Every structure is written in structure tokens, then in C-alpha cells.
């Protein structure tokens, strides 16, 4: 076969990731604090941008409408994030989702600290020569973040608790741990607010108290020392009596302590030495990192008609305007092509930012509204009524791509009558129904397993196979290995061990 050159015309469809589209994607997943830092940097960089004051609400809306109407003049707007992301169930949308995951392999990582300079965004492909001019490294970008106690506990909870409802309870408890490592809330009030039982909260707290550092999540000093002694396998009856009477130890009433503990002087001295080696404030090992309060991005309130009112937190939405008057003055005085190019670039960047912020707010509100609609039972009845929910369900309902929903739910918080939660906590796995009906939430199935085991008699301990049969009779299609996995996750022993425990208790 002879080789020859020839000209061919081909028509192909491709997705071009412009710098503006890449930055818009980054804006979508930023937290409110990081977004405020980024906008602050843009206000310093772009002379056409200015901060909106409280009385400029009408001007802000006018700027947004003008920015939306100037799409054609802004350039490269065929790749605008709103248009790309809101094309539902099309081949281009699927291609976009794949390209985004490839373009941002670290998309699920935590955002940079609030204090990071916005130059990091210019490195992604920002508009303008500033990225080339800044050239050198920012040494602050290479400084590792100091690990906080909350992050340390949350990381351990990821592996220790798989149940979505229990993980939500666990995160709520972690948020109530002070810098010394002590739980500051009351179990009863926490259970009432989350709409669950005190037994469930106690069960989750017992798991958290096994985390590192030993003694964390204790409710008082006695419990903190007891946890550490149990971790060292030194919590015998004598030591328990000593820990429960720390007031006598503080008074140095050794005679009363010897009588209560049933030990001699030498043993008491050894026990006191062990107490001195314990850490009364285990949380302080994680430094003095400033705790940033969680600022909700969305508010949910009960309406008089039993529905839910969803609104954005205006305090977390940066308000910027394009100074059209200043642009008109400057554009009339520019002479060189370089000056004209710079002013045009600033206008394009400012127009994009105003529209990007408006689109980001609308997307967050749309996703949050759908999540509230899907999880209505949780807000009305409590954590035990979480429905199975995944990214695809929400994405299909609002006509967006799953990657968009994933980025919207990252680092965003919603304030509800039951507390403040991260949006991603409302996504739970599903278990199919035996009769082909509506799927069951994994948490609801775990709750049924616990109820069956709690109600079993000592002479009739339920095996995993028996539990599977009872669940299938109730319409839950579940495998035996899944029952075993859920049982072990709830720290419930096997049927053989439970039978031995109940026989020992009966004798």
C-alpha cells in the first residue's frame, strides 16, 4: 500500500477547559471563608471591582443582570460553567464530568487555609499577566497545616463508624469537644436535638472514647483518667475506687483512701504514681490552633404549613460590583494598545467574577433545596429517619452533573433546627426491598437489627441467618455477610458470644 499525503476535513466535538471555567469550578467547591479570601484578592488586583455596601442591593442586582447580558462581549463564554454544568444527561455533560475528575485529581482534598494568597488560583490559568509576573514560589504554600484535635478524631471516626446516622451523631459530639479533649454537651439534650435515643448517643460516645489520644471525649476528670487506665489495662477495683475519690486524694486523706481501696501504704503510693503519669488534658497535645467557628451557608426553617423554608446566608456571599463609571473614565484616557488590553482584561475578569458568584449561589441553593426535600423525614422526625440518598439522585432531580453536586456539598454547611451539618452527611447508602418496593436506608436496617437482638431471649439467641430471614419477612433484601458487617460495626458480639454472656449473667 503506497503512502501519500492528503487533506481531510473532519468534524469533532471536544471540551475546552478555559482558565475561567477551571477557576469557576474551583470557586464552586470553596468554603465561604476561602471564597471571601479569594474575592478579597480580586478586589485588590482588579481596579474595576469594588465592594458593595448595604445600600447597594439594587446596584448589585443591576450589575449581575448587566454581567449576564454581556456574555457575548466577555469572550470564551461558550465554556461558562453554568451552561456546561446544567446540560442534563447529554454526552457533553458526561464528557465534562470525566474531564473534571482528570483535571482536578485533588478535588476532594481540603481547601487551602483562609490566609493563603489568591495567587494560587492564578497558577491554575488565571486571566492576565500577573501569574507570569509573580513567577517565584510562595513559601507559605509549602507550610503544612497543624493538625487539630477535631480533624484527628474525625479521621479515626471514618474507619471506626460506618453507619451514616451514627457518624452524624459522632461528628456532632466531636464538634462539642473542647481544646482540652472533654465533651462539653449533655447527652440528653444532644439526643433530643438529633431526634434519637440516649442509648444511641452513648453507644457512639463509647466508640469515640476509644480513640487516640487516650482519655479524649471524657465528660469529667474521673472518666478521663478511667479511660486512660483501661487503655493501660490497669483499671482494677482498687484503682477504680481511687479514681472515684479524687477529692480525698486532693485532700491527701491517705487513711481514708487505704480503707476505700483496700491496699497498704506501698500499694497506695504506686497507684498515686500511676495517676500522676496520666494526662488530665489529652486534647492539648494538638497545639493551640485557632478554632474557626462553622458558618452555615444555608438556613433551613420550619414554615407554618409544615414545609421547610430554605435560604442562603447572605453574610457568606461576597458582594462585589463593577465600577462602570470608573471604567468609562479610564477607557477614554487610554492611548496605547497595552493599556486598552489591560482595561479590557480587567472588565472581562470582573464581569466573569460577578456572574460566577451569582451562579455559585444559585447552584448551592438548588442543591440544598433538593437535599432538604429528599431528607424531609430527618428534619421532621430525627436521625433515625434518614433516607438512602446518593449524588446521582440529586443530580438527576436538578438537571446537573454528579461532579457538580459533589463540589457543591464539599465544605458547605446547613443550619437546621437539629443543628449544623455538612451537606455531604445527608448522603446515605440504600438497601433494596425484598418485594421490589422503595429501598430501605442502611441506617434504618441497622436499627432493626439492633431491635431484634435487644429483644431476643436468653434461650433463643438469634443467629445472623435467622436475622436475615426475619428482615426478609419484613421486606428487606439483605445478605448474611451484610448483617454480620452491620452487627460488628455496632459492636454487637456474635450469637455464640451473646449466648455465653446471657448464660453467665443468668447463673
Per residue of the chain (507 residues), what is the pLDDT tens digit? 567 888 888 888 776 667 777 777 888 888 888 888 899 998 998 888 888 775 455 555 555 555 555 544 444 333 334 444 343 334 444 444 444 444 333 333 333 333 333 333 333 333 333 333 334 445 444 445 567 888 889 889 988 888 888 888 998 999 889 888 999 888 988 888 888 889 999 999 999 999 988 999 999 999 999 999 988 888 888 888 999 988 888 888 888 888 888 888 888 888 888 888 899 999 888 755 555 677 899 999 988 888 899 999 988 888 888 888 888 888 888 888 888 888 888 888 888 888 888 889 999 999 999 999 988 888 888 877 778 888 888 999 998 888 888 888 888 999 988 888 888 888 876 555 555 555 666 767 887 888 888 888 878 888 888 998 888 887 787 888 888 888 888 888 888 888 888 777 765
Q: What is the CATH number of the domain that holds 461?
A: 1.10.10
Q: Residue 168: how many CB atoms within 10 A of its CB?
A: 25
Within-domain flag for 457? yes
Dihedrals φ, ψ of 76, to 5°? 55, 30
Within-domain flag for 361? no
Within-domain flag for 23? no
**pTM to 2 decimal places:** 0.53
Within-domain flag for 165? no
Within-domain flag for 25? no
Within-domain flag for 452? yes
Number of structural domains found in the chain? 1
Within-domain flag for 126? no
Within-domain flag for 360? no
**Sequence-ordered list of residues with C-beta below 8 angstroms from that of 456, at least 6 positions apart, any chain:** 462, 498
Q: Residue 444: which domain range?
A: 430-506
Helix (H, G, I), strand (E, B) or coil at 62: helix
Contact 288, 183 (CB under 8 A): no
**Pairing, β 430-431 against β 440-441:** antiparallel
Number of H helices, E strands in the chain: 26, 8
Amino acid at each position: 500500500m503506497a503512502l501519500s499525503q492528503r487533506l481531510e476535513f473532519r468534524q469533532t466535538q471536544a471540551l475546552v477547559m478555559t482558565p475561567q471555567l477551571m477557576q469557576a469550578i474551583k470557586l464552586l467547591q470553596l468554603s465561604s471563608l476561602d471564597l471571601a479570601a479569594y474575592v478579597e484578592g480580586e478586589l485588590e488586583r482588579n481596579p474595576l471591582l469594588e465592594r458593595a455596601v448595604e445600600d447597594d442591593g439594587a446596584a448589585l442586582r443591576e450589575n449581575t443582570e448587566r454581567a449576564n447580558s454581556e456574555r457575548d462581549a466577555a469572550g470564551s463564554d461558550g465554556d461558562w460553567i453554568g451552561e456546561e454544568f446544567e446540560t442534563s444527561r447529554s454526552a457533553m455533560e458526561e464528557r465534562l464530568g470525566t474531564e473534571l475528575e482528570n483535571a482536578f485529581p485533588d478535588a476532594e482534598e481540603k481547601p487551602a487555609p483562609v490566609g493563603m494568597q489568591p495567587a494560587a488560583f492564578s497558577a491554575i490559568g488565571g486571566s492576565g499577566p500577573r501569574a507570569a509576573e509573580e513567577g517565584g514560589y510562595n513559601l507559605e504554600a509549602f507550610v503544612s497545616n497543624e493538625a487539630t484535635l477535631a480533624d484527628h478524631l474525625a479521621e479515626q471516626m471514618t474507619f471506626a463508624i460506618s453507619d451514616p446516622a451514627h457518624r452524624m451523631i459522632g461528628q456532632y459530639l466531636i464538634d462539642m469537644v473542647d481544646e482540652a479533649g472533654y465533651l462539653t454537651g449533655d447527652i440528653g439534650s444532644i439526643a433530643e436535638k438529633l431526634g434519637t435515643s440516649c442509648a444511641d448517643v452513648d453507644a457512639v460516645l463509647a466508640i469515640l472514647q476509644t480513640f487516640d489520644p487516650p482519655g479524649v471525649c471524657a465528660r469529667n476528670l474521673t472518666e478521663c483518667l478511667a479511660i486512660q487506665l483501661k487503655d493501660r489495662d490497669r483499671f482494677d477495683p482498687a484503682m477504680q475506687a481511687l479514681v472515684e475519690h479524687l477529692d480525698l486524694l486532693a485532700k491527701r486523706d491517705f487513711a481514708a483512701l487505704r480503707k476505700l481501696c483496700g491496699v497498704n501504704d506501698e500499694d497506695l503510693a504506686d497507684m498515686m504514681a500511676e495517676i500522676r503519669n496520666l494526662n488530665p488534658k489529652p486534647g492539648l497535645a494538638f497545639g493551640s490552633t485557632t478554632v474557626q467557628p462553622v458558618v452555615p451557608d444555608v438556613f433551613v426553617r420550619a414554615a407554618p404549613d409544615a414545609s421547610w423554608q430554605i435560604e442562603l446566608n447572605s453574610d457568606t456571599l461576597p458582594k462585589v460590583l463593577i465600577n462602570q463609571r470608573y471604567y468609562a473614565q479610564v477607557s477614554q484616557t487610554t492611548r496605547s494598545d497595552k493599556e486598552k488590553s489591560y482595561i479590557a482584561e480587567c472588565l472581562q475578569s470582573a464581569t466573569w467574577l460577578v456572574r460566577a458568584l451569582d451562579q455559585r449561589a444559585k447552584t448551592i441553593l438548588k442543591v440544598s433545596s433538593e437535599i432538604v426535600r429528599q431528607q424531609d423525614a430527618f428534619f421532621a422526625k430525627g436521625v433515625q429517619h434518614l433516607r438512602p440518598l446518593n449524588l446521582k439522585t440529586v443530580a438527576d432531580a436538578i438537571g446537573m452533573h454528579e461532579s457538580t453536586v459533589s463540589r457543591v456539598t464539599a465544605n458547605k454547611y446547613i443550619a437546621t433546627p437539629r443543628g449544623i451539618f455538612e451537606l455531604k452527611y445527608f448522603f446515605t447508602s440504600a438497601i433494596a426491598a425484598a418485594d421490589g418496593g422503595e429501598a430501605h436506608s442502611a441506617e434504618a436496617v441497622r436499627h432493626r437489627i439492633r431491635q431484634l437482638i435487644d429483644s431476643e431471649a436468653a434461650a433463643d439467641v438469634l443467629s445472623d441467618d435467622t436475622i436475615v430471614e426475619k428482615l426478609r419477612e419484613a421486606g428487606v433484601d439483605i445478605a448474611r455477610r451484610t448483617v454480620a458487617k452491620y452487627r460488628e460495626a455496632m459492636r454487637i458480639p456474635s450469637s455464640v458470644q451473646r449466648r455465653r454472656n446471657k448464660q453467665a449473667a443468668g447463673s
